[in-house]
Chains A and B, each alone.
Chain A
Amino acid sequence: MTTPHLSSHQEAALHDLTAPRAPDRPAWRVALAETRRRAPGSFLSRPIARPWMAAAAAVALVAILAVSLAPSLRSARVHGGGERVAARSVAPSTAASGSEGFGTGLGALAAPTPDQPESVGPRRIARRASVDLVAEDVGATFSKAALLVTEALGEFVESASLSGPEGALQGTLLLRVQQQRLDGVLARLRQLGAVAAESAEGIDVTDRMIDLDATIRNEQRVERELLELLTARKDADLADILLLRKSLDEVRLRIERLQAQREQVSRSVELASVLVNIRAGDAPDGAKDGLGAFFASQLGKAWEQGARTLASTAAAIVRGFIGWLPGWIVVFTAVAILWRYARWLTARPVHEPTPRI
């Protein structure tokens, strides 16, 4: 077999045909400018092949989520051991419009706050509410309100008074109801008349209970020590023994007082207080003006409530956006990096077909 060979001149000419030579202007620069001019490409659209960057982004995201969702490390003692009070009151027009908003607000008050220290267990919240009702028949409303307590559950009417002349009768009730039933009782109260005012508060008594428990334990320890001293010093002077007994009595008195306080605080948590003030006035809109006026009134209230809800939602969004701006920046950057890394992972590999010759 023979292989055709070219002369050295011809071979040199063939080599020269494809010899490396620099173009007049760098083609890669033109290509780069052209590519960016045609499709600049957003930050998100360009894949990124940096696993370490993706890992860092994932860690940042997890950290942000952990900081957002995990309970704060601030303990209740940061607040100085005092009682924390969360309160909410509503304008009469809003309060009269229905049971939803306020009941939800109370529920929120009763819910354990995220900054509870784990060591003290659930927060102990004493809930109090007050409702001012305007009713056509004060006496009947008074009786109906008093019947809202369920004695079988340990609930009771702590105080009740009905006073004033006929036509200007006024009633006041202090109901003690199970904390779990507070929202329901308030809802029932609202149905008994027009709500002129309504307020609620949740008092965090956890610290107070902790302090009382600690003080009781301390006093009990002192009591034990005094008893031991009394037992060990049977042959002591009568004056000393009497002094010891007096001290022991004082300690026991303090313990009983503290235990009573503890019990009172505990009951204030168990049973919520609802102060109901009832006074005479116009009947609710529906009863007085007929269905049309009632419908118009309710529509107006619904409109106002809707507008308020919308405004508060918008405010919450703005608050969340601005307050969390640094966090959002980190989250957005991390998500963008992860997104670009995912695009790289899922991108079709480059493939140039073999020349079709």
Chain B
Amino acid sequence: MLARVANNLFWMGRYIERTEHLARFLSVNYFTSLDAPDELSRSRQFVLRSTMYMSANEIIDSHKVLDEEEILFNVGLNIDKPYSILNAFTNAHENARSSRDLISTELFECVNRINHTIKGYPADKFVKSGLHDFTSLVIQSASEIRSKIKSTLLHDEVYAIIMLGIYIERALQVSRIINSKLSDAAAAKVIHGDETDGSYQWATLLKCVSAYDMMRRYYKKTPVRASTLEFLILNSKCPRSIKNCLSQINKYITIISKDNFAAKDSAAFLIGKMKADFDYKLMEDIDENLEVFTGELIDQLILIAEKLENNYFNISDVAVSKKQTQKQVLK
């Protein structure tokens, strides 16, 4: 497989996964806040700030009054904002298009059709009444695309690289969602003290990762801080837990890595080491310094993604695509 195309496929996987998390966070965070138990969590300004923190990684000055429709448009359909859902999906589509000879017709048609739908979604409708409709559409679309990836592609290196993209992005997004909700919970605690119904923040966090129902099934108790974080970080059965993502990343890196013993500092080595570390991690090891832990987790995942690019998709000597046109029309 061409290194350039491998890079495109990796990023296709990442952007598909990213759109889903952006959409789900936006929707869950917004809709659960409408009838939140405490005043702060119900506050529009608080919700919009939390949305911007997760989508754009931006902490907005607390004096600034945010305009709801503007924020929703920016994170949803504003093509000029690199963090918008539209932009993420456009990137997924562009990456699919430049590797369309390698992926199945079914997969490309699916990505392409969804691209038309998302691009054509009326911005006006979205900010006024379409928030739920649009985000559901994006969430379902990501599932549909993943199902085409799983069921119509050869399970070879092409597949492994897309899956690597998906799971690295998933681990990153889940870490960022945890991070953002930890900070929301801390803010609520400062204002309302211990009176706040803590389970509200933890339930929201679980819903943001579509893990609420299964968490209830697993623990049979109302979610609290420790059980929620344990489920999302260390539970090997939860499909979106960090631990599970790492084990998937490890599985797919073995498919593309031809060495039985990964070289020190290679992507495969780092992933294996991180996975081994997680296998024996306990909640009590990380509970005290959770913010630090999630921060480091994000850094490590970014480092792995960079190593992957260096090890397999090294395109530093490949010229940047230019729109040079030869005078070659459809004759």
Genuine A/B complex: no
